[in-house]
Every structure is written in structure tokens, then in C-alpha cells.
Amino acid sequence: QVQLVESGGGQVQAGGSLRLTCAASGRTFFSTFAMAWFRQAPGKEREFVSVVFWNGGTVHYTDSVKGRFTVSRDNAKNMVFLQMNSLKPEDTAVYYCAADSRIYLSDYVSLNEYKYWGQGTQVTVSS
């Protein structure tokens, strides 16, 4: 079993920055896992934000965060990070960390591809 715990959320003004952290624990070969970030705004469905595959060299972002968000991972520490810059009010949401043991996911934007989920961390951006 794998446990994921997110941290780093908070409230910032538009244009500000936050860094989210997802810490993984349990019996896992974390370094092989696909790790992703999703978010869910009030009244909306959970949506894909970013994914980083096993060696950190392959990453993808949803269009709305490209150039502002950066995903990375530290396999030695079993952690994944999401650096969020130039935050906008529309980035307000609960951010979730997700993981799957497969090295690569062809449909990485789909919630159904991920077996493990964290509890989420709230990000609020005020205008």
C-alpha cells in the first residue's frame, strides 16, 4: 500500500507563488512510479494539472499552467513537487497528488489511470 500526503497549500495574492510537496510512503518502488497533480475547484470536476514520469525527464502540463508551473521529483526522498508561479484566481482549487506504479501512462490526464491518491491541499488565490 502507498500513502500520499500533500503539503504546501495556502492563500496567496494573484501573481504570488506556492510550492506543493507530495510525500510518498509505504512499500513502494517510488522511483518507478508515475506521479501527477490534479486539482478540483468548487463545483467543478477534478482535472489534470501535471505529470512527471519515473526519471523526471518526461513531464506534461495542462495548457492553462504551462510556463507558470513546474513539476519535479526527488526519488531519493520519495517526494514530488509542484512549483506554482504567477498564480491566478482561477488556480484556486484543492490540489491532489496521484500515483501509479506503471512507469508510463498513455492516458495520463485521466483520473482512472492512477491507483493512489492523497487527501488534497487547498490553494486559494485572491485577486
* pLDDT tens-digit map of 42-99: 999 999 999 999 888 899 999 999 999 999 999 999 999 999 999 999 999 999 999 9
How far is it, in rounded angstroms, from Cα 23 to Cα 17? 20
Q: Cell numbers of 56, please? A: 523526471
Instruction: Provide the mean pLDDT of the chain.
Output: 95
CB 83 within 8 A of CB 17: yes
Q: What is the pLDDT of residue 20?
A: 98
Kindly list the strands in the beta sheet with 2-7, ordered across the sheet, starting from the edge strand earlier in the chain.
2-7, 18-26, 79-84, 69-74
pLDDT at 21 over 90: yes
CB 1 within 8 A of CB 26: yes
Q: What is the pLDDT of residue 49?
A: 98
